Structure 1
Amino acid sequence: MEVTANVASPPSRPLSVRRASAEMERADNSTAEEPMSPTGRILEEMGVCIVVVMGLDSPVNLPVFRSGIETELITRSSRFRSVQIMDGPEDDKPQWVQTAVNVDDHIIVPRLDPAAVASNPEKAVEDYVAMLSTLPMDRGRPLWEFHFLDLKTSGATSTVVLRLHHSIGDAMSIMTLFMASARSTADPTRLPAMPPPPRRTGAIYQQRTRPPLSSSSDYLAWVWSYFVLAWHTLVDVALLAATTINDVLVGVTSAALSQYYFRKSGDTNTKRICLRSILLVNTRPVSSRQTYVTKVERGNRLSSLIYPFHIALHNDPLEYVRKAKRSMHRKKSSLEVKFVQVVVEFLVKYFGAKTGAFIFRLFATRTSMLLSNVVGPSEHITLCGHPISFMAITTCGQPQALIMHFLNYGSTIRVTLAVDDAQFPDCHKLLDDFDDSIRLIKNAAGLKKLTTLIQND
């Protein structure tokens, strides 16, 4: 298993961007496809976007990639050929309506500063990705666009960046679209291999099937399990008032943040320090990943957990993982995820998306970090006629000062940070801490065992 890192932070200067000028024409037979989900409506109000960075093993062949977008991605995903409209002037319930798509409207080839590219191509890509967070999207057309950076970096021959509005779908729906539209790089005659299924098969709060009750002790154990479920739920709901991410990666994050804090502060006091964070959770059944060939996931099926990251020094690197697994086990034994989902749907239904988004943003500003883990293709893929050497993902539009995304692609876990430069002026040092932490934990646990833990959790 290899771990690499990326960073996305606000650039120090704007970069010029050239766009195709063709106008999109609305299809005469456009029809309302479906209403937007409550989660999608809140993300729409907040203006959250997903950014997927893909390194290519070859120079960009724009006609070939354009053809792949048209014949694979747009054909398979109705959201890539739909716009958002309102039912009426007084109605805040947007609908997805299919429309004619001019692919050239969604292809952007920027002119980058040659001196900046020659000096540091990796930073030129980072700055460009960060700059995308400052640009509005044209709502008169489907809310997605591909940016082609035909420059060589240390990890790729060229780079393609997909930016799309989060209301189109979440990261898992985008990954299933990629896998359904791609081919295995090792064997172009077949679809990419699916990720190995974890031990869990249902929702993270779903309890295990219990054997029939045959004695009083079985009955007491049955009652006790539901008492624990109810108690954990009450505690987590109380914390909220005041899918899932992998437990091992939570431990890695805790170790990296601890190393960063103690090095930067020079503090030797290991007093209890806690950072409140949001962990995004995929609420789909795990088995849904296995059906991407016949059904491409769409939309947003997300919820969240409130997770306290404890900053501490441990002599044994595995202690960070042990603490994370204990804490996450309790989280997975409660209905906190379901509670958040129900609250979001209630707020949007009875108070509207604007109020729901305001409350959610107010709640999010009380947290310091956002963390998510996305399971990508388990082997290298060829997408739109181009072999993909690496994939990274990030988002923009959230209020947290530190946003961390893990993406599994092949045998690599790539960490991407989106940061507030005022709070993390040395964010590359934090990336170094992630690299050091995963290496220490990997050496302590053994590569094979650690890889198995990450895949099976």
Structure 2
Amino acid sequence: MKEKTKHTKIKSLSKTTIKKEEKKMTETPDEPLSPTGRLFMQPSSDEVINCVVAGENPIALDSLKSEISNSLMLKHPRFCSLMLRDGRGREHWRRTAVDVDRHLVVLRARLAGADDDEAVSGYVAGLASSSPLAADKPLWEIHVLAAHNAVVFRVHHALGDGVSLLSLLLTHCRRADDPARLPTVGGSRASAASASALLTRRGWGVWEFVKVVWFTIFYVVEFVLRVAWLSDRRTVVSGGSGVELWPRRLATARFRLADMKIVKRAVPDSTINDVLFGIISSGLSRYLDMRESKALRNGIQITGIAMVNLRPHTGLQELSQLMTGDPGSRWGNKFGVILLPVYYHGSESDPLEFVKRSKAMIDKKKLSLEAPFSYKLMDSIISLLGPKLASMLKYRLLCNTTFTVSNVVGPQEEITLAGNPVKYIRPTSSSLPHAITMHMMSYAGIADMQILVAKDVIPDPRVLANCFQDALLELKAAAEAALKS
């Protein structure tokens, strides 16, 4: 018998069980959405996080379903609630019974693509631009690409940010070398050089205070101007209004963390994020050299938007910390936005200059309160003036910049999902007005950067990914030479 090529659903739970659960849930009062949650429910800000987990072996559907049914996810109120609007248009969470089978979408046929990676990337790119989540059930789904040994977790951004959702995802996983233990997640306390740390530390000096105030004022003014009217110069990688509706393509740039650490050692006091933005600056310069018909002036600014986790820990956290920790660490959307410019340089005698420039810029950003300001600003606008205005301002900010980037530290060791060894974890999101969206996550010594592009603007995302990979190799060679000298 031939397998169906359309999506199929696994056998549903009994109607009696569901009715009993629904009766129990009606006793729980509705809960209003947080201001940021309301923002993500607006049409121009409607965003879904898509996270691919690929296995070494075929996906065992029964084991996966059992893992989900018995997981902490189904004990979390956000994953057991419908999003409803009252007569005044205010959004609320209403508890409901969860039929796991309605959230499992199984695709058994092979997808088009030269290999599994290309096939899965094509599928996720399609989801990113044309597949919203149904509102008649809690806002999450799990797509099983059986022929490619991959699972796609889809969660609406209103349920939580990347740190919350990836922390929850990892509760489904176990360490490959010790199946009784949960994965070891990365992340450390905020750097002592950050503005938040300076303002909470006793004994900091007048000069430090002056720098915090100056850089905060400077970057906050720039942020406001970006929202109002200031925009990047148009290039072949620019997006704009309406681009979020265009078809997408997805490619992956792979980096060895060991290579990034070699570059990090060659630039004193630098971080992996400094190296990452050096790679992005160098890679975009390479790509622009290939695509631009006219020579660009060195130093042209290409502005990115970066998400900054505002919790006390900078990486993923244990779920218990997010669920029961102090208010600043809890579940939800707890992130700010900062502007991170990179600069075009068509010719650079020392590749490490890309990292040095990135470090100098990021060091100044750390000494500002731009991220907390952006979070509080949007929160206040939503609370006082409504989510529609906040969504419009967010959209303008995206249209006036060029790319989005995020970086999350993932599991340090190899892990399993429902007993299946995991090859990689690759998060990305719905389409934005940007033509380039980059999400990087490390896993067991490898950092994968998902590059989601509008294919009518960037028809060759694999070439762009190669530009980033080649940029790291060039930086590594320069770093090794510098360390030897």
| 1:300 paired residue among 319, 333, 336 | 333
Contact 1:48 1:395 (C-alpha < 8 Å) held by counterparts: yes
Deviations 1:173-199 (A, max 9, x none): 112113333211111122222325266
SS of the aligned residue for 1:137 comes to coil
Q: TM-score, normalised by structure 2?
A: 0.79
Deviation at 1:294, TM superposition (A): 5.6
Change (3 A) 1:48 1:190: same
Change (3 A) 1:365 1:130: same
Q: Distance in 2 between matches of 1:58 and 1:352?
A: 48
| Residue of structure 2 in register with 1:41 after alignment | 38
Partner amino acid, structure 1, of 2:198: Q
Please give the residue correspondences for 1:20-99 in structure 2 after superposition, counting only pairs within 5 Å: 27-30=22-25, 31-32=28-29, 34-45=31-42, 46-86=45-85, 88-92=86-90, 94-99=91-96
Deviation at 1:271, TM superposition (A): 2.4
Deviations 1:408-432 (A, max 9, x none): 1121100101111111011110000
| Residue of structure 2 in register with 1:163 after alignment | 154
Contact 1:375 1:407 (C-alpha < 8 Å) held by counterparts: yes
Contact 1:69 1:384 (C-alpha < 8 Å) held by counterparts: no
Contact 1:232 1:334 (C-alpha < 8 Å) held by counterparts: yes
Q: Distance in 1 between matches of 2:449 and 2:68?
A: 26
Q: Distance in 2 between matches of 1:264 and 1:195?
A: 37
Deviation at 1:105, TM superposition (A): 0.3
- Report the aligned-residue RMSD: 2.7
Q: Distance in 2 between matches of 1:126 and 1:373?
A: 19
Please give the residue correspondences for 1:387-406 in structure 2 after superposition, counting only pairs within 5 Å: 387-406=421-440
| 1:128 paired residue among 113, 123, 135 | 123
Structure 2: unaligned runs, 5 residues or longer = 226-270, 324-329
Please give the residue correspondences for 1:167-316 in structure 2 after superposition, counting only pairs within 5 Å: 167-195=158-186, 197=188, 200=191, 205-207=196-198, 212=203, 222-242=205-225, 246-265=273-292, 270-286=297-313, 289=316, 291-293=318-320, 295-296=322-323, 298-312=331-345, 313-316=347-350
Partner amino acid, structure 1, of 2:319: Y
Deviation at 1:341, TM superposition (A): 1.0
Structure 1: unaligned runs, 5 residues or longer = 1-14, 153-157, 213-220, 450-457
Q: TM-score, normalised by structure 1?
A: 0.84
SS of the aligned residue for 1:415 comes to strand
SS of the aligned residue for 2:196 comes to coil
Deviation at 1:245, TM superposition (A): 8.7
Q: Distance in 2 between matches of 1:35 and 1:288?
A: 28
Deviations 1:244-281 (A, max 9, x none): 99222111111111111113336665522111221111
Deviation at 1:136, TM superposition (A): 2.4
Change (3 A) 1:445 1:196: farther
Deviations 1:303-348 (A, max 9, x none): 1001222111322221111111110110111111111111101111
Change (3 A) 1:209 1:73: closer
Change (3 A) 1:199 1:358: closer
Contact 1:47 1:397 (C-alpha < 8 Å) held by counterparts: no
Q: Distance in 1 between matches of 2:154 and 2:74?
A: 18
Q: Distance in 1 between matches of 2:361 and 2:478?
A: 21
Deviation at 1:204, TM superposition (A): 5.6
| 2:8 paired residue among 7, 15, 18 | 18
Partner amino acid, structure 2, of 1:279: A
Contact 2:190 2:312 (C-alpha < 8 Å) held by counterparts: no
Q: Distance in 1 between matches of 2:171 and 2:398?
A: 34
| 1:330 paired residue among 364, 370, 392 | 364
Deviations 1:212-241 (A, max 9, x none): 5xxxxxxxx822322221111111111112
| Residue of structure 1 in register with 2:146 after alignment | 150
Contact 1:39 1:302 (C-alpha < 8 Å) held by counterparts: no
Q: Distance in 1 between matches of 2:195 and 2:63?
A: 41
| 1:424 paired residue among 416, 435, 458 | 458
Contact 2:284 2:344 (C-alpha < 8 Å) held by counterparts: yes
| 1:377 paired residue among 411, 430, 449 | 411
SS of the aligned residue for 1:392 comes to strand
Q: Distance in 1 between matches of 2:29 and 2:336?
A: 26
SS of the aligned residue for 2:7 comes to coil
Q: Distance in 2 between matches of 1:202 and 1:66?
A: 45
Deviation at 1:147, TM superposition (A): 0.8
